[in-house]
Amino acid sequence: MELAARFFLLEANGSSLMTVTHADVSSDGKRATILFTVLPTEKEQEALEFAKRKRSDFKEFVKKESRLGRIPFFDFHIDVGEKNRQRVDEISIS
Protein backbone atom coordinates (compact mmCIF):
# COMPACT_ATOMS: atom_id res chain seq x y z
CA MET A 1 0.00 0.00 0.00
CA GLU A 2 2.78 2.39 0.93
CA LEU A 3 4.61 1.89 -2.36
CA ALA A 4 1.44 2.44 -4.37
CA ALA A 5 0.68 5.63 -2.43
CA ARG A 6 4.22 6.92 -3.02
CA PHE A 7 4.06 6.01 -6.70
CA PHE A 8 0.76 7.89 -7.17
CA LEU A 9 2.17 10.88 -5.34
CA LEU A 10 5.20 10.97 -7.64
CA GLU A 11 3.51 10.13 -10.93
CA ALA A 12 0.00 11.62 -10.82
CA ASN A 13 -0.61 15.08 -12.26
CA GLY A 14 -2.43 16.40 -9.21
CA SER A 15 -5.82 16.94 -10.88
CA SER A 16 -7.30 14.53 -8.34
CA LEU A 17 -6.43 13.02 -4.99
CA MET A 18 -5.80 9.28 -5.20
CA THR A 19 -5.80 7.53 -1.82
CA VAL A 20 -4.71 3.89 -1.57
CA THR A 21 -7.13 2.11 0.77
CA HIS A 22 -6.22 -1.58 0.49
CA ALA A 23 -3.95 -4.08 -1.22
CA ASP A 24 -4.86 -7.73 -1.80
CA VAL A 25 -2.18 -10.25 -2.73
CA SER A 26 -3.12 -13.70 -4.00
CA SER A 27 -2.09 -16.69 -1.89
CA ASP A 28 0.56 -17.69 -4.44
CA GLY A 29 1.94 -14.14 -4.60
CA LYS A 30 1.51 -13.88 -8.37
CA ARG A 31 -1.21 -11.21 -8.42
CA ALA A 32 -1.85 -8.09 -6.37
CA THR A 33 -4.81 -5.74 -6.53
CA ILE A 34 -4.45 -2.18 -5.31
CA LEU A 35 -7.71 -0.50 -4.25
CA PHE A 36 -7.97 3.28 -4.11
CA THR A 37 -10.43 6.14 -3.87
CA VAL A 38 -10.42 9.36 -5.88
CA LEU A 39 -11.50 12.90 -5.04
CA PRO A 40 -13.26 14.50 -6.76
CA THR A 41 -15.30 11.43 -7.68
CA GLU A 42 -15.86 12.82 -11.19
CA LYS A 43 -12.19 12.02 -11.87
CA GLU A 44 -12.46 8.31 -10.93
CA GLN A 45 -12.49 6.94 -14.47
CA GLU A 46 -9.58 9.14 -15.51
CA ALA A 47 -7.58 8.10 -12.43
CA LEU A 48 -8.34 4.40 -12.98
CA GLU A 49 -7.21 4.63 -16.61
CA PHE A 50 -4.02 6.39 -15.47
CA ALA A 51 -3.29 3.67 -12.88
CA LYS A 52 -3.87 0.86 -15.37
CA ARG A 53 -1.65 2.58 -17.97
CA LYS A 54 1.12 2.86 -15.39
CA ARG A 55 1.08 -0.81 -14.25
CA SER A 56 4.44 -1.67 -15.80
CA ASP A 57 6.01 1.52 -14.43
CA PHE A 58 4.62 0.66 -11.00
CA LYS A 59 6.09 -2.84 -11.23
CA GLU A 60 9.52 -1.35 -11.98
CA PHE A 61 9.07 1.09 -9.08
CA VAL A 62 8.30 -1.83 -6.74
CA LYS A 63 11.35 -3.74 -8.00
CA LYS A 64 13.55 -0.73 -7.20
CA GLU A 65 11.98 0.26 -3.90
CA SER A 66 11.32 -3.12 -2.26
CA ARG A 67 13.09 -6.33 -1.39
CA LEU A 68 10.42 -8.62 -2.78
CA GLY A 69 11.79 -11.73 -4.45
CA ARG A 70 8.81 -12.23 -6.72
CA ILE A 71 7.09 -9.14 -8.06
CA PRO A 72 3.40 -9.87 -8.68
CA PHE A 73 1.25 -8.72 -11.58
CA PHE A 74 -0.48 -5.57 -10.35
CA ASP A 75 -4.00 -4.45 -11.09
CA PHE A 76 -5.83 -1.39 -9.86
CA HIS A 77 -9.49 -0.90 -8.93
CA ILE A 78 -11.66 1.80 -7.41
CA ASP A 79 -12.53 0.82 -3.82
CA VAL A 80 -16.33 0.73 -4.04
CA GLY A 81 -16.57 -0.72 -0.54
CA GLU A 82 -14.93 2.40 0.87
CA LYS A 83 -17.22 4.60 -1.23
CA ASN A 84 -20.23 2.75 0.19
CA ARG A 85 -18.93 3.11 3.75
CA GLN A 86 -18.49 6.84 3.25
CA ARG A 87 -22.02 7.12 1.87
CA VAL A 88 -23.42 5.30 4.93
CA ASP A 89 -21.49 7.74 7.14
CA GLU A 90 -23.01 10.68 5.25
CA ILE A 91 -26.52 9.30 5.63
CA SER A 92 -26.15 8.48 9.32
CA ILE A 93 -24.83 11.97 10.11
CA SER A 94 -27.72 13.68 8.32
Instruction: For 29-84, write each residue's pLDDT tens digit.
Output: 999 999 999 999 999 999 999 999 999 999 999 999 999 889 999 999 999 886 66
Q: For residue 28, what are the domain limits?
A: 2-85
For residue 68, is it within any domain?
yes
The pLDDT assigned to 89 comes to: 73
The pLDDT assigned to 49 comes to: 97
Question: Whole-prediction pTM value?
Answer: 0.86
The pLDDT assigned to 62 comes to: 97
Q: How many structural domains is the chain composed of?
A: 1
For residue 94, is it within any domain?
no
The pLDDT assigned to 73 comes to: 97
For residue 16, is it within any domain?
yes
Looking up residue 30, the CATH number of its domain turns out to be: 3.30.300.20
The pLDDT assigned to 92 comes to: 83
How far apart, in whole angstroms, are the C-alpha atoms of residue 51 and residue 11?
Answer: 10
Q: What is the pLDDT of residues 11-22, one digit of tens each?
A: 998 889 999 999
